[in-house]
Each structure stands twice: as C-alpha cells, then as structure tokens.
C-alpha cells in the first residue's frame, strides 16, 4: 500500500493536474493540503463544532440518523457533525437479546436452571438426587478433613 501511494505521489509531482482538487480523495489519497481539499475533507467528515453541538437529540433526529442514508448527508441535513451521527447510530444500535430457550443452550442447562429456580422458590430446599449426592460427598469430605484436623481419625 505504501509503495502504491509513493508511486501515486511521484506521478502527482510530475503532473499536478492528476490531483482531483476539492475532493476527499485528493486529501486522503494524494496528500493534497490545499485549502480547497482541506475544506472538502472537513465538509465530508463534519469537522468542528456545529450550531447543534451539545444539544440533546430529538426523536425525529434520532430516527433520521438511524435511516439507511449516507452519514454525511444525514449530518448535513441535521446540522450535526459526521462523528455525532456515527455516535448516535452506535449508541442506538440493535443488540441481540439473550435467549435461554432449549434451542440455544440445550435442554439440560434449561432444566438445571428451572430445577434450581424451583428449589429456591421452595425455601432453598434441595430436591434433586444429584444435589443430595453432591452434598453428601461434600459433607463426608468436610467431616474427614475436620476429623483429621482435630486428630479424631
């Protein structure tokens, strides 16, 4: 990429008429920093503060910002900066919902969550055989550790 740009800049140095002045392309691709190109780039990117900077967004403005149109066009119509429109689109983007149906995680995970929810609803009593077995193993291990510490076994 760098080599391509170097060749392009060498061609521009040899023939300045190749540079499309007053465009974003001239600013980015040809490294032209004449006032015309700087103004074009600033206009497209919406640089600087605008009359609406810092003002809250109305629901109509948000709807327009979320529309499927070029960001630069929306920014110009709203009198907002390019980056302000990008930011509001990001903040209002659709987010995936968490679906814990059996299709997503598998029936076993949903069954375990349902079983634990029922246990908690019943005052936290352990109702499933797997929980009892786990608690018994834990209890025996705890007793053995406790007895070993006290010198009982």
For residues 28 and 1, give the distance between their C-alpha atoms in angstroms, rounded to a whole number.
13
54-58, 77-81, 82-86, 137-141: which range is least confident on average?
Answer: 137-141
**Domain ranges, residue 18:** 1-45
Q: Is the same domain home to 56 and 40?
A: no
What separation, in Å, do the N-terminal and C-terminal C-alpha atoms of the chain show? Answer: 75
Q: Is the same domain home to 61 and 78?
A: yes
In the chain, how many domains are there?
A: 3
If you average pLDDT over every residue of the chain, what do you get?
74
For residues 129 and 1, give the distance between their C-alpha atoms in angstroms, rounded to a whole number.
65
Q: Which is nearest to 33 in space by CA: 18, 22, 46, 47?
A: 22
35-44, 77-86, 126-135: which range is least confident on average?
Answer: 126-135
Q: Is the same domain home to 57 and 81?
A: yes
What's the distance, CA 37 to chain centroid? Answer: 32
What are 114-130's pLDDT values in tens digits?
Answer: 777 777 777 665 555 54
What's the distance, CA 122 to chain centroid? Answer: 40
The total number of residues shown for the chain amounts to: 153
Residue 152 DSSP code: -
Q: Is the same domain home to 141 and 110?
A: yes
pTM: 0.36
Q: Are 101 and 110 in contact (CB under 8 A)?
A: yes
For residues 5 and 12, give the distance between their C-alpha atoms in angstroms, rounded to a whole number.
10
* Average pLDDT score over residue span 41-64: 77
Q: Is the same domain home to 41 and 56?
A: no
Q: Is the same domain home to 6 and 39?
A: yes
Q: Is the same domain home to 88 and 112?
A: no
């Amino acid at each position: 990429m760098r080599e391509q740009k170097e060749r392009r800049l060498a061609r521009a140095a040899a023939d300045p008429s190749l540079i499309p002045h007053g465009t974003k392309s001239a600013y980015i691709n040809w490294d032209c920093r004449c006032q015309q190109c700087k103004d074009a780039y600033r206009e497209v990117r919406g640089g600087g503060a605008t009359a609406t900077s810092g003002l809250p967004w109305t629901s109509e403005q948000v709807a327009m910002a979320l529309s499927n149109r070029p960001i630069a066009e929306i920014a110009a119509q709203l009198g907002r900066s390019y980056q302000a429109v990008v930011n509001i689109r990001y903040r209002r983007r659709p987010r995936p919902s968490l679906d814990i149906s059996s299709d997503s995680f598998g029936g076993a995970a949903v069954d375990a969550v349902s079983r634990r929810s029922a246990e908690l609803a019943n005052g936290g009593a352990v109702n499933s055989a797997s929980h009892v077995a786990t608690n018994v193993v834990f209890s025996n291990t705890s007793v053995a550790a406790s007895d070993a510490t006290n010198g009982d076994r």
